[in-house]
Chains A and B, each alone.
Chain A
Amino acid sequence: MKIARAKIYFLLALLVSFAVWYWIPMDQYVREIILTIGINIILAVSLNLVNGHTGQFSIGHAGFMAIGAYLSAWLTTVAVPAWWPNLDISDGSLTGTLVFLGAMLAGALLAALAGLAIGIPTLRLRGDYLAIATLGFGEIIRVVIQNTDVVGGSRGFSVNNGYTTIFWTFLFAAVTIYVVANLVNSAYGRGFVAVRDDEVAAESIGVNTTKYKVIAFVLAAFFAGIAGGLYAHFKQYLHPDGFNFLKSIEVVVMVILGGMGSTFGVIAAAVVLSLLPEALRFIPQAYERLFGLQLPHLIDDLLKNRMLIYSILLIILMLTRPQGLFGGMSGRPALLFKKKTPRADGLAS
């Protein structure tokens, strides 16, 4: 039964984290990849609630991540040391961990609040307009941060302590998955899918479409804020340019690749796309080892251009398999793409 599936994900996530922690030799490089995967999972699963399950195309997710990142970073690096200068909040200390968690929560809550403020007016819009509006808000957030000196603005912001650990990251990832999957599969959660499939019909059975859209949006923003907080205390350096439209697109690509509305699919896509840069880096080496030759410089260069690869991936995906890898298997998000609409040029299809 579907309700049990969320529990399975949760246990799986815990198991995977344990296995990873136990068996994989933890050098810096591997650790960074794993943390990136965890954070991307949180971003992808949360965005999927809005874009996939509820069918609202939002492309400003990075803005919420930024809010979570910057607020939590400011709290741990500027505010708390200023308010309680004698407090030991170093990495690994109990108080440090508590402050970290508190800061993360604060960041996530502010992000959720922003989600509410932005969602209520914006979610009235449809399709293209909604996308552009969310894009616009994402950029506004970025510009505001860029102009906020307290957090470094365009100079960047250094974060004191790297509290983020694999444990915390995967714990929050598991929580995100659990919350989203559970919510959507409950009777209450069927409302989200109803909104996606047919808003007019949903309203006719008493589903307040605006309320559902806003709830999805706010929840997604909350978890994006969590991801931001984890990110801030992992990379320990923040810059507004890292939270621009392109970052939002990266998350959108994960959701599309995985299959909008498929929780399992977007998790898989998040993993794949987190590993992609490494894989791309690996190809020239593998080629050399296999054939004893160096890849033509042009191809080597191309492979390093991650966004170029993404763009080609997106185009090919849309032309050949728009429902993503897992769309249409678990969950039935393929609807968003399989439905034939009257051809835009008026000709019979």
Chain B
Amino acid sequence: MDQFLQQLINGLSLGSIYALIALGYTMVYGVLRFINFAHGDVFMLGAYVGLYSGRYLSGKLQAEPSVLLAVSVLAISMTVCAIVGVVIERLAYAPLRSRPRLTVLITAIGVSLFLEYGGQQFFGAGPHFFEPILPSYEMHTGALRVTSNQLVVLSVTVVLLISLTFIVLKTKMGTAMRALSFNPTAASLMGINNNVVISFTFGLGSALAAAAGILWAINYPSINPLMGLLPGIKAFVAAVLGGIGNIPGAALGGLILGVTETLVVGYSDRLHIPPSYRDAVAFVVLIVILLFKPSGLLGKSSSEKV
């Protein structure tokens, strides 16, 4: 039982990060009906911006790892990546809005590769060490071991989720986002500036991905420019699992995936599945979902009018 709880905690922590990334995928899909392949690489960018800003701030201000430092780094990274997200959208995706989705899908793959290999060019192939920006300690209750970093992940995720829910449900912009996801033409006829809303969506999603990047780097301090590949794909699976386009679904999907992955690895001897199959878990989940319920857990299916 203890082992199960431990794995659960680990899984929720991992799942929270997946959830944050998945939210970006799902929001963009909801508004543009398009899978932003490059989203996982914004996650990577977030980690690197965090690395450099962390170094800069702690060097400039002679600061020790602290909550203040961490929050500042988080804010900087989220802001920078939000801007990057908006820029990418304007430059690479917006010109292709009237084209078939295949074109923009391929472009997204191109942008993703550009960020990854450009990152290798610019940051170096890595791996790079993410210096601590937060004091960390472990806590033990009984046989359970929880690190402060894990708590940070969970609490930051909760805060961000609440903020996101507020934005989507209570603000004008959020309502506009939802309107766009139902019917873009009607939305623009109601006076909504679709371009602005789309840019906002990208910015918001990218900010969340950046936060995920920082949280990841805090827990797994070795980062490299290709680090966004796997978590990105897994987060996408999480978004599909929850129902692509559905915001609570993305959060739910992320958590479920994180827990599942951790449990499979944790109980690998019992299940007779070698832990090196950990990455395959997400893909198996993906295949199962696509075959049996492509609309996901919380999504609804749509069909083509003939």
Interface on A for B, CB 8 Å cutoff? 57, 121-122, 125, 127-129, 131-133, 135-137, 139-140, 143-144, 146-147, 200, 245-246, 249, 252, 256, 301-302, 305, 307-308, 310-315, 318-319, 322, 336-337, 339-347, 349
Nearest opposing residue in chain A for B107, CB measure:
A318
Query: Chain B contacts of A343 at CB under 8 A?
Result: 97-98, 184
Q: Is B277 a contact of A135 with CB atoms below 8 Å? A: no
Which one of B12-20, B44-52, B247-255, B282-290 is at the A interface?
Answer: B282-290
By Cβ-Cβ distance, the 5 closest A-B pairs, closest first, are A346-B184, A314-B110, A311-B113, A349-B98, A346-B185
Given A131-B105, A346-B185, CB of A308 within 8 Å of CB of B114: yes
B78 within 8 A of partner (CB): no
* Whole-angstrom distance between the Cβ of A235 and the nearest chain B Cβ: 23
Nearest opposing residue in chain A for B192, CB measure:
A346
Q: Is A345 a contact of B95 with CB atoms below 8 Å? A: no
Q: Is B280 a contact of A308 with CB atoms below 8 Å? A: no
Give residues 175-233 of B contacting A (CB, 8 Å).
180, 183-188, 194-195, 198, 229, 233
Given A319-B96, A337-B99, CB of A147 within 8 Å of CB of B276: yes
Q: Is B280 a contact of A315 with CB atoms below 8 Å? A: no
Q: Is A344 a contact of B34 with CB atoms below 8 Å? A: yes
Cα distance, A308 to B113, chains bound together (Å): 7
Nearest opposing residue in chain A for B34, CB measure:
A344
Q: Is A139 a contact of B283 with CB atoms below 8 Å? A: yes
Interface on B for A, CB 8 Å cutoff? 31-35, 92, 95-107, 109-114, 116-118, 120-121, 180, 183-188, 194-195, 198, 229, 233, 236-237, 240, 274, 276-277, 279-280, 283-284, 286-287, 290-291, 294, 304, 306
* Whole-angstrom distance between the Cβ of B118 and the nearest chain A Cβ: 6
Nearest opposing residue in chain A for B284, CB measure:
A140
Chain A residues touching B, majority SS:
helix
Query: Chain A contacts of B194 at CB under 8 A?
Result: 345-347
Query: Chain B contacts of A322 at CB under 8 A?
Result: 99, 103, 106
Given A57-B102, A127-B101, A143-B280, CB of A315 within 8 Å of CB of B110: yes
12 cross-chain CB contacts under 8 A: A129-B294, A132-B286, A136-B287, A140-B284, A311-B110, A311-B117, A318-B103, A340-B99, A345-B188, A346-B180, A346-B188, A347-B194
Q: Is A122 a contact of B187 with CB atoms below 8 Å? A: no
Query: Chain A contacts of B106 at CB under 8 A?
Result: 252, 256, 314, 318, 322
Nearest opposing residue in chain A for B116, CB measure:
A307
* Whole-angstrom distance between the Cβ of A40 and the nearest chain B Cβ: 18
* Whole-angstrom distance between the Cβ of B30 and the nearest chain A Cβ: 11
* Whole-angstrom distance between the Cβ of B236 and the nearest chain A Cβ: 7
Query: Chain B contacts of A140 at CB under 8 A?
Result: 280, 283-284, 287
The one of B92, B113, B121 in contact with A310, judged by C-beta atoms closer than 8 angstroms, is B113
Query: Chain B contacts of A336 at CB under 8 A?
Result: 100, 102
Q: Is B110 a contact of A144 with CB atoms below 8 Å? A: no
Add 16 more A-B contacts to A139-B279, A343-B97, A343-B98 (CB < 8 A).
A125-B294, A139-B280, A140-B284, A305-B117, A308-B118, A308-B120, A310-B110, A311-B111, A311-B114, A312-B110, A315-B114, A337-B103, A340-B98, A343-B184, A345-B97, A345-B198
Q: Is B195 a contact of A136 with CB atoms below 8 Å? A: no
Q: Is A136 a contact of B286 with CB atoms below 8 Å? A: yes
Query: Chain A contacts of B97 at CB under 8 A?
Result: 343-345, 347, 349
Query: Chain A contacts of B284 at CB under 8 A?
Result: 140
Given A57-B105, A125-B290, A249-B109, CB of A346 within 8 Å of CB of B277: no
* Whole-angstrom distance between the Cβ of B186 and the nearest chain A Cβ: 7
Given A344-B32, A345-B194, CB of A128 within 8 Å of CB of B280: no
